Amino acid sequence: MIHPAPIDAPSEGDPFSRLLTRVGRLNYTWTNTESLLIHLIAGLARTDTETALVIFLTLNTTRARIDLVERLSKLERTPPDLRREVLRATKGLMRHSPLRNRYNHCIYAFDRQAGTAQTILMRIADRKDRLKIGETAQIDEAALADVDAAVEALNAVNREIWDIVISHDFPR
């Protein structure tokens, strides 16, 4: 039988504990990279970082922040090369949103006897004639590799956004 993981659950070397460490790294990398949107907003909206910060914090979701940056980049006044760079970076960021959301909107459960762990997604999927609740996924080496790959890709997006900010002399 699978139970939600108690606080003192598995030891440091098991996949569950290794995943928790990686999810922390994923969240840090995501938040750090998302915050760079402030500089894109400042540059694209032709304002200062303080104003861009207020705009950024007023928008409550990553999706809203990305939408704003993408729309600003699509204004006619934005040079096509800058538009392409910004859209490539925002696409790169959003590519990893589902994985981040999975680990931030789930509970973790494990089977002590089998030594396995899994995530249980805490979302309701409304289908035509039924609800889909509690989608599960195993915490295994493949899951760990997925998180590692996402962190690496987000680091690349982070560098890409910094390159845009620096090369286009956006406010820092």
Q: Where are the domains of the chain?
A: 15-167
Predicted confidence (pLDDT) per residue in 121-132, tens digit: 888 888 899 898
Amino acid 115: pLDDT: 74
Contacts of residue 20, Cβ cutoff 8 Å, sequence gap at least 6: 108
CA distance 72 to 41: 8
Amino acid 10: pLDDT: 52
CA distance 84 to 82: 5
For residues 36-68, one letter each, b for 16 or more C-beta atoms within 10 angstroms of the residue's C-beta and e for the rest, the string is: bbbbbbbbbbeeebeebeebbeebeebeebbeb
Closest to 98 measured CA to CA, from 117, 118, 121, 75: 121
Amino acid 9: pLDDT: 52
What's the mean per-residue pLDDT of the chain? 91
Predicted confidence (pLDDT) per residue in 67-107, tens digit: 999 999 999 999 999 999 999 999 999 999 999 999 999 99
| Token pair 């914090």: residue | 57
Question: Quick check: 17 pLDDT over 60?
Answer: yes
Amino acid 62: pLDDT: 96
Question: Quick check: 8 pLDDT over 70?
Answer: no
One-letter amino acid at 152 equals E
Amino acid 156: pLDDT: 98
